[in-house]
Structure 1
Amino acid sequence: MNYPRFSIPVLVFGAISALAAAIPPLLPSASAVPPTPQDTPSNIILPEAAYRPIAPKVFLSQYALTSLTPRALGLAVLTNLMQDSEGRVAESLEIEYPSFDRAVVRVTAIGLADDSVRSLRYRFKFQMSEDKWQLVEAGQQFQCQPDRGHSDWGGELCS
């Protein structure tokens, strides 16, 4: 049986197209709705607006640091949080360097012995300027105890 030369590629392309249409896409579409804070697990970092701002100079005045580096501040805050570990489930210090001159520090304490606040997370943004780290932004998030406000990470104070 003789088929025209173009028939086989057309048949193969048609079969692949039909198969591709029958298989659901593995990646979400661009129009997919992003998760809301209520849908977001507690280990995912929420958008900028979800942090309650803290004045960097006021915050730094609480710590006697001989050298301001992302690691030094992160360890100082974590050490301070570790002083009262009653009810603690987890503590973490995370330092990310998105570029050579920027750093983001996150310090998290989950399970606080507090009537209102269940968990606390700090975030500090650093910028390298003239060979020194500068704290340019500080913020905090909370998870509230049951019936004391939001149960997911957010910048609103617990009641």
Structure 2
Amino acid sequence: MNKFIKYIVILAFSTPILVGCSGDGDTSTVNSSPEPTASDLSTADAAKAIKERENYDSVDFNKLPQGVSLTGKDPKEIAVVVFPPPKEEPQEGNFQRDVAVKPVTPNLTTVIVTETGLLDDSVNGIRDRADFELSEADKLWKMVWVGKQYKCQSGRGSQDWSKQLCS
């Protein structure tokens, strides 16, 4: 047992030495890159959010309700007006509507309106996504991008959220 402990101790102390001696002349340290700044994180988060748009079917702003302002002080309030609940009152009791606000950076926010349990023979759910940018000049949020996803009824298409229409 003592030999085993000695072996572990020797291994523990020699591993950093062996790793540090790569022999290729590289004298840089393992953690040579600086810690990311808040600006770097914001940029990375914004890039990730924009990349996620690929998973949505882009919506032409001309197809949004007419006469509705796409600018205001609260992105959630704008999104709720742009994506109103169904006009028909759901009868089956399994309809759900969720409005989630996801701040990405101080100047970029995403609002996702999810409706499931729809009274439709092919579409089970619709997810609308709106991205908003904050104008530094007037401190108002402006809708800059809109996308849509669908979740189909069984046997009518994708059971996961997808930009593909249900059949």
Normalising to structure 2: TM-score of the pair?
Answer: 0.61
Given the alignment of the two structures, is residue 154 of structure 1 paired with residue 162 of structure 2, yes or no? yes
- Tell me the residue number matched to 1:104: 110
Could you tell me which residue of structure 2 aligns to residue 142 of structure 1? Answer: 150
Letter in 2 for 1:137: W
Question: 1: distance between equivalents of 2:7 and 2:87?
Answer: 68
Opposite residue 8 of structure 2, the aligned amino acid is L
Query: In 2, are the aligned partners of 1:86 and 1:112 still within 8 Å (CA)?
Result: no
1:140 Cα deviation (Å)?
0.6
Instruction: Give identity over the alignment, percent.
Output: 26
CA contact (8 A) 1:77 1:107 kept: no
Corresponding residue of 2:22: none
1:56 maps to what in 2? 61
Unaligned runs of 5+ in 1: 16-45
Unaligned stretches of 5+ residues in structure 2:
13-50
Instruction: State whether structure 2 residue 9 is matched by structure 1 residue 12.
Output: yes
Change (3 A) 1:74 1:82: farther
2:141 to 127, 133, 142: 133
CA spacing shift, 1:141–1:113, aligned 2, 3 Å: same
Q: Matches of 1:125 and 1:73 in 2, distance apart?
A: 11
Is residue 71–residue 141 contact of structure 2 (8 Å, CA) maintained in 1? no
Q: State how many pairs are aligned.
A: 123
1:109-124 to 2 correspondences below 5 Å: 109-124=115-130
Per-residue deviation, 1:83: 4.7
Q: CA deviation at 1:142?
A: 0.3
What is the alpha-carbon root mean square deviation over aligned residues? 3.0
Task: Label 1:103 to 1:83 Cα distance change in 2 as closer, same or farther (>3 A).
Answer: farther
Normalised by the length of structure 1, the TM-score is 0.63
